[in-house]
Amino acid sequence: MQFEIIDIDKKGRGVSREGISFRFAYPEDIIEGYIISKRNKLGRFEKVIKDSPLRKNAPCKYAGQCGGCPWQQLKYENQLKIKEEKIKGLFGFCEPIIPAPQEFFYRNRMDFAFGPDFSIGLKDDKNKTLDIEKCWLLSEDSNEIVARLREFIKSSDLRSYPEGIMRHVVIREGKNIKNTILSILTSDKGEFPLEELWEELKDVVQGITWSHNLSPADRSYGEIQKSIGQDYLLESLNKIKFKIPVQSFFQTNTKQAERLIQIITEFANLKGDEKVFDLYSGTGSIGLSLAKKAKEIIGIEENEAATKLSLENAELNGMENFSAIAGRVEDVIKSLDLKSDKIILDPPRPGIHKKVLQKIVEAKPKEIVYISCNPNTQREDINLFLEGGYHIKKIQPIDMFPHTPHIENVVLLKHLASM
Ligand SMILES: C[S@@+](CC[C@H](N)C(=O)[O-])C[C@H]1O[C@@H](n2cnc3c(N)ncnc32)[C@H](O)[C@@H]1O
């Protein structure tokens, strides 16, 4: 069947005139495809009949198949336009989106699955693991390490789950500080030859960690079994050094994360005498970047390893006014007064717990800087801040993830009483 694509849905898929969503299809395309679920309004794209003027030839041979870059065949200026329009649609206005400094090779982390026949890569939309020889989001060096890992699992006859034990590999590479670590995730149905892999790769990686993923979910997170060498990544942002635990969050686009931190710093506009809460603080990348400009920064973060390293990171950079509490924000605030001058919010995709929103509104900080990688939940949360006496001062979208529909958005909120 033929479909004319007229829009883009929330997940960045092309939407046909009939309301069916197709991955890898873009507005103004005419495509051939078929409907796979009428109820979910989902289709599968087979080929382009007439190219949209928004399209371009992608350099990667897996473009149009691989879930890592669903927008690689969309011209970069059009990707930016769609993202900016999305923010304008949600908030009514925003500053022009800040493009990424690099369109390719920008990621400091990739999570690949192990698949049949010793394949390593991301999945296609039929859930098949693509054997990716060269990923255009990773550096040449990291691609080379993945190639050597592939040879190792092949020669060791390590089969993929569920036939064998191999589930995922995460490669993390410092862009400003040259170091690379690997995290191997397997089922618990056998021993992974960690020492042997280390012998094979120790000239190019600084550490390897082996963990069990016992969850049925396709995720690269699990109970750590053993590490050799570094069990953290070293990276710097605007000259501040960070140790990042092997399984903790860190912005994946280092160069653009530096720009993001500059925007947050501008929005926070600290004078030096403020008490600031950094909620969802991770390894402290935002809090520590602001520490020199504030009197006191207090982070709250649920990941214990990240919290511990945020404190180590404070020491590493000589920041004595940064402290951090390990725990879920919604639990920690039960016995904590959130009274402060400014609050930084950088929650995960689902947004902020309602109890946290309420407690912030009661504490009435003069300003809130809200950073989000999910502008839909950010908008919902901000509606509640608006009801609580805040207004939107500035909105700055920034592109951290070229060739994907993901948007990072920073919003500055000011309390009406402080104006
Ligand atoms: C988007 S990341 C931001 C991390 C940090 N601000 C940074 O830039 O590196 C969200 C963080 O929130 C943490 N997190 C998720 N849910 C949480 C909760 N309920 N309470 C506290 N931290 C939470 C995650 O572990 C993750 O580190």
Residue range 215-267, pLDDT digits in tens: 988 888 999 999 999 999 999 999 999 999 999 999 999 999 999 999 999 99
What is the structure's pLDDT at 134? 97
With a cut of 80, say whether residue 294 has pLDDT above it: yes
- 399-408 pLDDT, tens digit per residue, is 999 999 999 9
Mean pLDDT value across residues 49-77: 96
Specify the CATH class of 1-55 in words. mainly beta
pLDDT at 376 over 80: yes
Tell me, in angstroms, the distance from the centre of ligand 1 to residue 378's CA: 14
Q: Are 36 and 46 in contact (CB under 8 A)?
A: no
pLDDT over threshold 80, residue 418: no
The reply to whether ligand 1 has any atom less than 6 angstroms from the CB of 251 is yes
Give the SS3 label for residue 398.
strand
- How does pLDDT run across 159-195, given as a tens digit for each residue? 999 999 999 999 999 999 999 999 999 999 999 999 9
Q: Is 136 in the pocket of ligand 1 (CB under 6 A)?
A: no
Q: Could you tell me if the CB of 250 is within 6 A of ligand 1?
A: yes
Spell out the residues 6+ positions from residue 284 whose beta carbon is closer than 8 angstroms to its own: 242, 278, 299, 309, 310, 311, 313, 314, 322, 324
The answer to whether 415 and 366 have CB atoms below 8 angstroms apart is yes
Tokens representing residue 115 in the block: 């698949």
**pLDDT-derived band at 378, boundaries 50, 70, 90:** very high
**Residue 47 and residue 60: Cα distance in Å, rounded?**
17
Give 348 Cα–ligand 1 centroid separation in angstroms: 6
Q: Is-contact 315 324, C-beta < 8 A?
A: no
Phi then psi for residue 164, to 5 deg, are -120, -155
124 annotated to a ligand binding site: no
Closest approach atom of ligand 1 to CA 371? 1
Domain positions in the chain: 1-55, 109-236, 253-418
CA 38 from centre of chain: 31
DSSP letters along 221-234, please?
--EEEEEEE-SEEE
C-alpha 291 to ligand 1 mean position (Å): 18
In this prediction, residue 33 has a pLDDT band, given cuts at 50, 70 and 90, of very high
CATH of domain 109-236: 2.40.50.1070
pTM of the model: 0.95
CA 60 – CA 69 distance, rounded (Å): 9
Task: Tell me which CATH code domain 253-418 carries.
Answer: 3.40.50.150
Residue 106 tokens read as 């920008």
**Residue 52 C-alpha to ligand 1 middle, in angstroms?**
39
346 is in an annotated binding site: yes
Query: Scanning the structure block, which residue is given the tokens 């600084």?
Result: 206
| Residue 419 scores a pLDDT above 90 | no
53 lines ligand 1 (CB under 6 A): no
Q: Atom of ligand 1 at shortest distance to CA of 287?
A: 6
Q: 109-236: same fold as 1-55?
A: yes
Residues 6+ apart with CB under 8 A from 162: 187
Q: Is 306 in the pocket of ligand 1 (CB under 6 A)?
A: yes
pLDDT category at 417 given cuts 50, 70, 90 is confident
